[in-house]
């Protein structure tokens, strides 16, 4: 273990941490992924399960993850090792680093689409398709073009590498501070346009009237995976950001603010997309292309759409960028802290390797679209393995680690730093966190993972 001689960089302020962590959480997961998994999994019943996962499992584990980072001031591997001295737990941190790497490899592909759509909307190509099915066809044409998809993917990776290269404060904090509120405002405009479209009622019904007949063990797993994915938790990104946080700041209230912001954005995006999907007769279960089929039509039907369209895709790309830097930051922090690499070398090596690993994901939308493993193409497989398996498993291990390895009482002493006022006013919160981190979170994650394997069905449970 290396002890860095220079003092570790810290966020400029408490707001710096919240903005950067919210910048990590808010991204394609809210605006691209949330709507399409809701569409594929039957609407409001899925949303209810997702909200429950966020509140019951997401919040207590998020608090724990940030706390591990703030306490140790280290990357995931170093953090687990410092608190336990065990190689097994250092390996758990290593699994997180690997998961982040894999997530970035497909995340940047989709972010590339968003960047590509900036050009499409400036060139006016996006607004040629009054007929919604034509917008969908245009999307298929673009993603079938190998040069288009890999080109924008590579371009986005270079942007991400540039920002991580610039270092913690300069790159990440400043980048996150600027654009998020504007994006939120724009989403609200799109939502209002969606709601006021003729036929949007069917979309609202889809979002509000639960249909439990589609719910299965898989639904729970996907909802849990989505909760982890959208909050950037379970693999050490929030841990790493927490490691730059000051002990004077409150972990629980920061975690709650991030969670509320992130959830609000996902719900607004969901309403914006489904009112429009139903009003235009598009397919709610269209999969990863859903927002790219829908939004061009919305912008066309919106006064000032030619201006809002490009601004929207610029902001979506920036939101994706602040998420992508958090993914690359984890692996960079690991190689800088643990292996003594320079920041520049880590960024260049791992940015490039991520690009190579992402190529089969990019090709899953064209030349490799028929190549499937367990019924999923390469993109689908990496997404499923990371979001639905590795992240919840990481969350389970974080909870078990805090409760039984680090030990709850020691963790609590750390948690109280910066949160004295909160706990003095609401001592019950401590008991709640204790119950959730020791029992509910780990047991529920375990059951969901087990249920998804079908074992519980076999046992008749």
Query: If binding is defined by CB under 6 A, does position 187 make contact with ligand TRP?
Result: no
Contact region for ligand TRP (CB under 6 A) — 2-10, 24-32, 43-51, 448-456? 24-32
CA distances (Å), origin 143, targets 104, 107, 354 = 19, 15, 20
**Can you tell me which of 159, 237, 286, 419 binds ligand TRP, judged by CB under 6 A?**
237
Query: If binding is defined by CB under 6 A, does position 229 make contact with ligand TRP?
Result: yes
Output the smallest distance, CB 51 to ligand TRP, in A: 16
Q: How far apart are CA 381 and CA 361, in angstroms?
A: 9
Output the smallest distance, CB 7 to ligand TRP, in A: 26
Indicate the residue among 330 and 422 with the shorter CB distance to ligand TRP. 330
Query: If binding is defined by CB under 6 A, does position 227 make contact with ligand TRP?
Result: no
Per rule CB under 6 A, count of chain residues that contact ligand TRP: 17
Indicate the residue among 357 and 412 with the shorter CB distance to ligand TRP. 357
DSSP 9-45: P--SSHHHHHHHHHHHHSSHIIIIIHHHHHHHTTTHH
Query: If binding is defined by CB under 6 A, does position 29 make contact with ligand TRP?
Result: yes
Closest among 107, 341, 301 to 192, alpha carbons compared: 301
Indicate the residue among 229 and 433 with the shorter CB distance to ligand TRP. 229
Output the smallest distance, CB 103 to ligand TRP, in A: 5
Indicate the residue among 165 and 278 with the shorter CB distance to ligand TRP. 165
351: left (phi over 0), alpha (psi -120 to 50) or beta: alpha
Contact region for ligand TRP (CB under 6 A) — 21-29, 49-57, 64-72, 340-348? 21-29
Indicate the residue among 277 and 327 with the shorter CB distance to ligand TRP. 327
Indicate the residue among 176 and 326 with the shorter CB distance to ligand TRP. 326
Give 206's strand partners.
none
- Footprint on residues 311-330 left by ligand TRP (CB under 6 A): 323, 326-327
Query: If binding is defined by CB under 6 A, does position 392 make contact with ligand TRP?
Result: no
| Other beta carbons less than 10 A from residue 445's beta carbon | 27
- Footprint on residues 45-104 left by ligand TRP (CB under 6 A): 100, 103
Largest CA distance in the chain: 63
Q: Which residue is nearest to ligand TRP (CB)?
A: 29
Give 373's strand partners.
376
Q: Name the burial class of residue 216, with classes exposed (0-12), middle (13-18) and buried (19+) by CB atoms within 10 angstroms of its CB.
A: middle
Query: If binding is defined by CB under 6 A, does position 25 make contact with ligand TRP?
Result: yes
Q: How far apart are CA 160 and CA 354, in angstroms?
A: 11
- Footprint on residues 246-265 left by ligand TRP (CB under 6 A): none
Instruction: Say if residues 384 and 99 touch (Cβ distance below 8 Å).
Output: no
**Can you tell me which of 41, 160, 230, 254 binds ligand TRP, judged by CB under 6 A?**
230
**Can you tell me which of 16, 23, 27, 358 binds ligand TRP, judged by CB under 6 A?**
27
Q: Name the burial class of residue 370, with classes exposed (0-12), middle (13-18) and buried (19+) by CB atoms within 10 angstroms of its CB.
A: exposed
Secondary structure letter of residue 373 according to DSSP: B
**Can you tell me which of 45, 59, 61, 235 binds ligand TRP, judged by CB under 6 A?**
235
DSSP 168-187: IIIIIIHHHHHHHHHHHHHH
Output the smallest distance, CB 211 to ligand TRP, in A: 26
**Can you tell me which of 11, 24, 58, 153 binds ligand TRP, judged by CB under 6 A?**
24
Indicate the residue among 326 and 377 with the shorter CB distance to ligand TRP. 326
Axis crossing angle, helix 391-400 with helix 87-123, rounded to the nearest 10 = 140
Indicate the residue among 229 and 401 with the shorter CB distance to ligand TRP. 229
Indicate the residue among 29 and 93 with the shorter CB distance to ligand TRP. 29
DSSP 80-132: HHHHH--HHHHHHHHHHHHHHHHHHHHHHHHHHHHHHHHHHHHHTGGGG--SH
Structure-derived torsion over alpha carbons of residues 393, 14, 266, 210, reported in degrees to the nearest 10: 70
Query: If binding is defined by CB under 6 A, does position 379 make contact with ligand TRP?
Result: no
Indicate the residue among 323 and 332 with the shorter CB distance to ligand TRP. 323
CA distances (Å), origin 225, targets 33, 43, 159, 452 = 11, 16, 27, 12
Indicate the residue among 129 and 156 with the shorter CB distance to ligand TRP. 156
Closest among 179, 185, 176 to 323, alpha carbons compared: 176
Structure tokens at 215: 């719910």
Structure tokens at 357: 């690993």
Query: If binding is defined by CB under 6 A, does position 393 make contact with ligand TRP?
Result: no
Output the smallest distance, CB 29 to ligand TRP, in A: 2
Q: How far apart are CA 21 and CA 99, in angstroms?
A: 18
Instruction: Say if residues 408 and 24 touch (Cβ distance below 8 Å).
Output: no
Output the smallest distance, CB 111 to ligand TRP, in A: 9
Indicate the residue among 291 and 419 with the shorter CB distance to ligand TRP. 291
Q: What residues line the site for ligand TRP (CB under 6 A)? A: 24-25, 27-30, 100, 103, 229-230, 232, 235, 237, 323, 326-327, 391
């Amino acid at each position: 273990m290396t002890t860095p001689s220079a003092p570790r960089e810290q966020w400029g302020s408490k707001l710096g941490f919240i903005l950067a962590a919210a910048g990590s959480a808010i991204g394609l997961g809210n605006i691209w992924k949330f709507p399409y998994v809701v569409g594929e999994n039957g609407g409001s019943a899925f949303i209810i399960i997702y909200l429950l996962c966020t509140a019951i499992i997401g919040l207590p584990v998020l608090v724990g993850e940030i706390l591990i980072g703030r306490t140790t001031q280290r990357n995931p591997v170093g953090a687990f090792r410092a608190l336990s001295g065990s190689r097994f737990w250092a390996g758990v941190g290593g699994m997180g680093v690997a998961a982040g790497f894999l997530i970035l490899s497909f995340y940047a592909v989709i972010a590339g689409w968003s960047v590509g759509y900036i050009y499409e909307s400036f060139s006016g190509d996006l607004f040629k398709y009054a007929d919604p099915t034509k917008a969908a066809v245009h999307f298929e044409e673009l993603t079938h073009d190998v040069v288009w998809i890999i080109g924008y993917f590579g371009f986005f990776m270079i942007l991400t590498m540039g920002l991580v290269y610039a270092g913690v404060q300069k790159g990440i904090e400043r980048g996150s501070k600027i654009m998020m509120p504007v994006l939120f405002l724009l989403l609200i405009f799109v939502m209002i346009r969606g709601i006021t479209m003729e036929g949007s009622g069917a979309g609202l019904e889809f979002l509000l009237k639960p249909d439990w007949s589609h719910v299965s063990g898989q639904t729970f797993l996907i909802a849990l995976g989505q909760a982890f994915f959208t909050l950037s938790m379970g693999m050490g990104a929030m841990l790493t950001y927490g490691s730059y946080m000051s002990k004077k700041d409150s972990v629980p209230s920061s975690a709650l603010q991030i969670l509320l912001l992130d959830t609000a954005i996902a719900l607004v995006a969901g309403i914006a997309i489904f009112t429009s999907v139903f009003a235009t007769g598009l397919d709610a279960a269209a999969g990863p292309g859903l927002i790219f089929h829908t939004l061009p039509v919305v912008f066309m039907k919106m006064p000032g759409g030619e201006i809002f369209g490009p601004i929207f895709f610029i902001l979506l790309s920036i939101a994706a960028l602040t998420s992508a830097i958090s993914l690359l930051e984890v692996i960079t922090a690991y190689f800088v802290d643990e292996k003594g690499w320079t920041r520049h070398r880590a960024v260049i090596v791992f940015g490039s390797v991520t690009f190579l690993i992402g190529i089969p994901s990019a090709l899953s939308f064209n030349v490799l679209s028929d190549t499937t493993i367990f019924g999923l193409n390469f993109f689908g497989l990496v997404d499923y393995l990371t979001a639905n398996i590795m992240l919840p498993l990481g969350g389970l291990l974080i909870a078990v680690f805090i409760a039984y390895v680090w030990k709850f009482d020691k963790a609590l002493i750390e948690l109280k730093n910066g949160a004295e006022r909160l706990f003095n006013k609401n001592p019950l919160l401590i008991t709640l966190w204790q119950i959730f981190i020791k029992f509910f979170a780990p047991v529920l994650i375990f059951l969901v993972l087990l249920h998804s394997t079908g074992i519980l069905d076999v046992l008749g449970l």
